[in-house]
Amino acid sequence: MTTQVHLRETGPAQTVPLSGDQARRIVSAKVVDIRPGPTAGTWALRADRIVGATRIGDVEIYIAPKVAPARLLFMLGYARDPSGWRDRVLPMDKSADLVPAMADALSRLIDSGLRGGLLHGYRPTETTSTVLRGRLREPAQLARRPGQPLPLEIRYDEFTPDIPENRILATATDRMLRTPGVVAATRRRLSHLSRTFAGVERVRAGAEPPNWHPSRLNTRIQPAVRLAELVLAGSSLDASPGRLTAHGFLLNMATVFESFLAVALRRSIQRRHGGVVLAKHPHHLDHGGRVRLEPDLAWRHGGRIRAVADAKYKLSVPAADVYQMLAYCTGFGLTHGHLVYTRDEPDTTDHVVRNTGIRILCHSINLDQPSIPLLAEIDLLADQIVQPGAASLEASG
């Protein structure tokens, strides 16, 4: 019998009866926080930053994100391809939870993209044959069979559906089929699509998806491929080393927020103020180079780092964040540092550090809004980061 647990990101814990083996599997999966419950045989499960759905043994765990699925999907897509996702509209049910909405959008986009038939392409193939097809690989022929007329070492271009785009689509379809929480109608559509991809090699669990390039030939399936890449990125969390989970679609919201903010701020600052925005720019606090500094974003203009910022997906502004930003400002010789939180944080008060003149500015972003006002808010944030952060205490490289 399958046990279902429904949680909400950073929401209250749910107490459920679990066997010792079930609890051990959940602990090993590292998807949710799990602790002994108030009575024997019960366990309290709480979700922190990971959202989505997964099946761990015979336990299914569903974690709803704080933001709407459509907003979350936009952040995911924008972080991977800002130009391709800025104004994209997907067939997503706004009332559905994350996994059903993603599965439905994926199935509809693939179905729409394949209405003209399965895309084929030419793939270079090298093999041994008794019939000359394509070109003879002379070096291989001479090295392996000197003086022998047959068999032949040949190379030819095979016209096949087994191309990178279809591999990504097929793998995402199969993985979403194995994800709990997909409604029956969507599951039937995905099953049909999976059979359509017969003969297409799937991407091995834990492996990187193959590279593909947008072109005139694959225009009709590009939206589906881009969404399928997001599905693979989410399902790969279950395949991470050290995890015991089975199948699912999971996203780390801290990673989603940090990746989106890094891309959005980089594009906004460089477009509006010039210079270069560097992600995870390495520096050192001490002259000996033993204390490493690595802010999420550093704005370099005129040969100097003039502003630094860190994205923080947390419920508060802990002192540790302020200490860390103080170290960044000291190491880079800046009078201002910037911490960026999400809008639902209870306290985003600025901090002026005694005896230094350094000011730690705390900003907040409302993620649960349509893309246009969200990006407009990012533009305003970019201006706030650049304008006060250009002053330096001393020259710094």
Whole-number percent of the chain with pLDDT over 90: 56
Q: Is residue 262 part of a domain?
A: no
Q: Is residue 352 part of a domain?
A: yes
Please give the DSSP secondary-structure letter assigned to residue 58. T
pLDDT bin (cut points 50, 70, 90) of residue 139 is confident
Element (H, E) at 190: helix 184-196
Q: Is residue 332 part of a domain?
A: yes
**What is the tally of structural domains in the chain?**
3
Q: What is the domain range of residue 350?
A: 274-389
CA dist list (Å): 207 to 171, 203, 315: 11, 7, 34
Q: Is residue 194 part of a domain?
A: no
Q: Which two tokens stand for residue 295?
A: 């802010």
Element (H, E) at 199: none
113-122, 143-152, 339-348: range with highest mean pLDDT: 113-122
pLDDT at residue number 85 = 59
Q: Read off the pLDDT of residues 310-327 as tens digits, 9 standing for 90 and up.
A: 999 876 678 899 999 999
The CA-CA-CA angle for residues 382, 342, 326, to 5°, reads 65
Residue 333: pLDDT above 50? yes
Contact 177, 202 (CB under 8 A): no
**CA atoms of 151 and 27, how far apart (whole Å):** 57
Contact 266, 275 (CB under 8 A): no
Q: Read off the pLDDT of residues 248-285 as tens digits, 9 standing for 90 and up.
A: 889 999 999 999 999 999 999 999 999 999 999 889 99
Q: Does 373 share its domain with 307?
A: yes
Please give the DSSP secondary-structure letter assigned to residue 334. B
Mean pLDDT, rounded, for 9-30: 93
C-alpha torsion 96→98→100→103, nearest 10: 130
Q: Is residue 325 part of a domain?
A: yes
Q: Is residue 78 part of a domain?
A: no
Please give the DSSP secondary-structure letter assigned to residue 208. P
Q: Does 57 share its domain with 132?
A: no
Q: Is residue 92 part of a domain?
A: no
pLDDT bin (cut points 50, 70, 90) of residue 41 is very high
Q: Is residue 190 part of a domain?
A: no
pLDDT bin (cut points 50, 70, 90) of residue 245 is very low
Cβ neighbours, 10 Å, residue 180: 19
Q: Does 52 share its domain with 127?
A: no
**CA atoms of 129 and 145, how far apart (whole Å):** 13
CA–centroid distance for 101 within its chain: 17
Q: Does 58 share its domain with 127?
A: no
Mean pLDDT, rounded, for 102-122: 90
Q: Which two tokens stand for residue 55?
A: 């099946």
Q: Show which of 130, 160, 190 is a domain's final residue.
A: 160
Q: Does 381 share its domain with 284?
A: yes
Q: pTM for the full model?
A: 0.79
Q: Which two tokens stand for residue 279?
A: 């992600």
Cβ neighbours, 10 Å, residue 161: 19
Q: Read off the pLDDT of residues 163-187 as tens digits, 9 standing for 90 and up.
A: 999 999 999 999 999 999 999 999 9
Q: Does 280 share its domain with 373?
A: yes
Q: Which two tokens stand for residue 93?
A: 């049910």
